[in-house]
Amino acid sequence: MKKLSGLAGAGTRGNRGVSSCPAPKKRMKSGTGIAAFLIAQFESKVNALGPEITRNSKAASRLAEQFERRQVSKIYWGALEGDLGPGEGTWTDWLRKIKEESRSQRVAEGTEGARQAVLRYRRLQVCAGGCLTEFRPETGRMHQIRLQAALRGHPVQGDEHYGAKLAFGPPAPVPRDRIIALHARSLTFLHPIRYEPITLVAPLPPAWHEIDLPRELLDPASDS
């Protein structure tokens, strides 16, 4: 497995739900290697990380298919309010987007518009105000991590939208633009030509230094 670390995350603002990085419109020349370009679509307010695509348009298409077929492994880190306690598990809920609002809610199975949300979690360690937790979504619902954590009484720090009491990161002119403690930690996908696994790891942004994490987790070269 090839691992690339020290990649800067592309931050997004606002609460629009999804931040996207569309593919370039101009025709890409054929060739080898990886071109620096973000392709993944990550939730607003999360430090986005995406794989670079090759200069070969056919290879780029193969990589896009991995996202469409959910063959890309995504790992998120979140600083939650309160301590989950040691261990790991899976949260399963039925969620529905609230019409004309940028948020979701839990509903009963069978409710119109309800979609199942499955999220694996693993508590990594305690931190200031709560605990650092790893998340591996098995589905891709709107605000899935944020809502499912909040439903268990442990909202993401700084996420007032879902009931958080603790602030996170620097103040913002517009409250809705303030960042929350949810970070797209890594992506693992197959190289579209050589088909070898590649993992991209994004270092934690400066705001995370405020919640008393060990230096090895704040080091851009640290492992996930």
Task: Output the pLDDT for position 219.
Answer: 67
195: left (phi over 0), alpha (psi -120 to 50) or beta: left
Instruction: Give whole-number Cα distances, 31 to 34, 35, 65, 190, in Å.
Output: 9, 10, 19, 18
Instruction: Give whole-number Cα distances, 208 to 19, 83, 186, 203, in Å.
Output: 21, 17, 16, 10
Task: Output the pLDDT for position 221.
Answer: 53
Task: Output the pLDDT for position 188.
Answer: 87
Instruction: Give whole-number Cα distances, 69 to 91, 201, 222, in Å.
Output: 22, 21, 29
Q: Please state, in angstroms and rounded to a whole number, the distance separating the CA atoms of residues 82 and 165.
A: 11
Task: Output the pLDDT for position 52.
Answer: 46
Average pLDDT, 10 consecutive residues per value, the chain (224 residues): 42 31 31 32 36 58 79 92 95 94 94 96 96 95 96 96 94 85 89 81 90 82 48
Q: Please state, in angstroms and rounded to a whole number, the distance separating the CA atoms of residues 25 and 60.
A: 13
Whether the Cβ atoms of residue 190 and residue 129 lie closer than 8 Å to each other: no
Whether the Cβ atoms of residue 73 and residue 189 lie closer than 8 Å to each other: yes
The CATH code that applies to domain 2-218 is: 3.30.2350.10
Residues 134-168: tens digit of each pLDDT = 999 999 999 999 999 999 999 999 999 999 999 99
